[in-house]
């Protein structure tokens, strides 16, 4: 083991290493909290000055990171947020948690990762560990990032260290947090892996070292492709079983009684979050380099992408049966977060449902106590709505109420009693009712 690696490992194990986290969103901020809670000092980096100001004032913009926790860390001077990336030189380990979206052609957009890598390179010094946590295609770490960092003249595995360790953040999960979820780690060299593993060993319940960053990158894609394919399967079965007069939810419950060889997945109005709608297409794109067409993955994506259209079609048909045209109809969408009991709107199917309804001339409102306002979305730049109060007058005055996200706090029995029509895309309403249709 080289001298720089030994020195950094010793510093990490003594918790004297300073951690830099780039990107203070749903992945980066929980990571900041995890390192702070284990006694490390952390610098948070973000280009969003609003986030920086809020964090330095001790105010959280993510529901599951409390303001009291932030203020405690600020008082001890263990944490500071900044938009000054020259301060990267102060960090011994730099963890990258920036977006990896798709472009308009559904190809990987690595601009955030590569721009960040260039900024790190401009401030790189000996003895630093760089870890990419953003989900990406196999080869990003060693093919894209490494050449940028080595262009500084510093040598990988001797002067600085580079690894990939995919985030496994699950917003709203009360059982598995950043600290209690095992973490896969792949280093470019043996010393890179050793130093990166040493870092995560200090804060994560279990580290899972693998032979290379490519294996680590591929493992994250497999996790999310597994979910995407199985969600697509139950969504397709939902549409098939509906035509047969069979309740897919009852079928899933019955199948779940088998104690082996089966894992339940549940249908919905489409998938959301930053991972499942996006990550499979990173492998689809990369597979083209080896002359392989990922038919299975792409088909799953097509089915899941179709689901908001299915919900809207079911809504339009139900309104037509009641003599109401979709144009001018008052539609209330319950839930704009991508899943229950969180405030995360990224890739939420509700956004597509609202957009499609608006295109058809419906007057759309939404209620979501977790999301007071919805705006600033890349794919829906014109969408700017505020959550409306949920009361009897609002429910009774709506031609249709769509349950798009099944937040636990909503009284679905009362909603069904008061609504003219309920379109339930989440199986939130368990009892059959004449004014409820499943979608």
pLDDT at res. 68 = 81
* Long-range interactions of 287-295: CB distance < 8 A, separation 24+: none
| 8 Å CB contact between 160 and 21 | no
Tokens of 201: 């060993």
User: How many residues make up the chain in this entry?
Assistant: 439
Mean pLDDT for each consecutive 10-residue tract of the chain (439 residues)?
Answer: 94 97 94 95 96 91 80 86 97 97 87 98 98 96 98 97 94 85 97 98 97 98 95 96 96 97 95 82 90 92 95 98 97 96 92 97 97 88 93 97 97 97 96 94
Three-state DSSP class for residue 37: helix
Rounded CA-CA distance 389/409 in Å is: 14
State in words which class domain 3-211 has: alpha beta
pTM of the model: 0.91
Q: Where are the domains of the chain?
A: 3-211, 248-438
Query: Considering the domain 248-438, what is its CATH architecture?
Result: 3-Layer(aba) Sandwich (3.40)
pLDDT at res. 280 = 87
pLDDT at res. 211 = 98
pLDDT at res. 378 = 78
pLDDT at res. 66 = 78
- Residue 275 annotated as catalytic: yes
DSSP string for residues in 100-167: --B-TTS-B--HHHHHHHHHHHHT--TTEEEEE-S---TTIIIIIIHHHHHTTS--BTTTEEEEE---
Tokens of 23: 């990107």
Of 113, 275, 276, 385, catalytic? 275
Which uninterrupted H or E stretch holds 21? strand 18-22
| 8 Å CB contact between 337 and 368 | yes
425: how many CB neighbours lie within 10 A of its CB? 30
pLDDT at res. 105 = 80
- Closest among 268, 274, 405, 407 to 341, alpha carbons compared: 407
Rounded CA-CA distance 253/305 in Å is: 25
pLDDT at res. 61 = 87
Half-sphere exposure of 437 (CA within 13 A, CB side): 20
pLDDT at res. 190 = 97
Tell me the C-alpha to C-alpha distance, in Å, between residue 311 and each of 87, 209, 300, 317, 350. Answer: 48, 43, 17, 10, 10
pLDDT at res. 139 = 96
Q: Which residues pair with 374 in a beta bridge?
A: 385
Query: Do the domains 248-438 and 3-211 match in fold?
Result: yes
pLDDT at res. 30 = 92
């Amino acid at each position: 083991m080289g001298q720089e690696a030994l020195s950094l490992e010793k510093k990490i194990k003594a918790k004297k290493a300073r951690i830099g986290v780039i990107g203070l969103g749903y992945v980066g901020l929980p990571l900041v909290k995890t390192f702070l809670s284990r006694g490390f000092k952390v610098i948070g980096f973000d280009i969003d000055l609003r986030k920086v100001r809020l964090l330095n004032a001790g105010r959280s913009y993510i529901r599951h990171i409390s303001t009291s926790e932030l203020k405690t860390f600020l008082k001890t001077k263990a944490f500071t947020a900044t938009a000054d990336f020259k301060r990267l030189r102060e960090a011994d380990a730099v963890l990258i948690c920036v977006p990896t979206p798709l472009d308009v052609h559904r190809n990987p957009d690595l601009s955030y990762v590569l721009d960040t890598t260039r900024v790190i390179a401009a401030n790189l010094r000996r003895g630093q560990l760089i870890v990419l946590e953003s989900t990406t295609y196999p080869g990003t770490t060693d093919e894209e990032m490494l050449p940028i960092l080595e262009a500084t003249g510093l040598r990988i595995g001797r002067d600085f260290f580079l690894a990939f360790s995919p985030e496994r953040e699950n917003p709203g999960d009360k059982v598995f947090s950043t600290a209690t979820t095992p973490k896969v780690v792949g280093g470019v060299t043996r010393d890179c892996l050793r130093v990166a593993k040493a870092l995560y060993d200090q804060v994560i319940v279990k580290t899972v070292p693998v032979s290379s960053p490519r294996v680590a990158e591929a493992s994250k894609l497999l996790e999310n492709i597994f979910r995407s394919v199985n969600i697509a399967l139950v969504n397709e079965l939902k549409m098939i079983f509906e035509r047969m007069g069979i309740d897919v939810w009852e079928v899933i419950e019955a199948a779940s009684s088998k104690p082996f060889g089966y894992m339940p997945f549940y249908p919905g109005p489409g998938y959301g979050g930053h991972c499942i709608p996006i990550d499979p297409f990173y492998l689809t794109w990369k597979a083209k380099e080896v002359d392989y067409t990922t038919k299975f993955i792409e088909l799953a994506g097509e089915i899941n992408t179709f689901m908001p259209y299915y919900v809207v079609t079911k809504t339009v048909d139900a309104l037509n049966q009641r003599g109401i045209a979709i144009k001018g109809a008052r539609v209330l969408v319950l839930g704009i977060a991508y899943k229950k009991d969180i405030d995360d709107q990224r890739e939420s199917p509700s956004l597509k449902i609202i957009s499609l309804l608006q295109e058809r001339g419906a007057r759309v409102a939404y209620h979501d106590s977790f999301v007071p306002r919805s705006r600033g979305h890349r794919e829906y730049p014109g969408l700017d709505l505020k959550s409306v109060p949920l009361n009897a007058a609002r429910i009774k005055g709506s031609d249709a109420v769509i349950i798009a996200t099944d937040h636990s706090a909503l009284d679905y029995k009362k909603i069904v009693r008061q609504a003219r029509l309920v379109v339930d895309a989440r199986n939130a309403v368990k009892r059959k009712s004449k004014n409820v249709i499943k979608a």
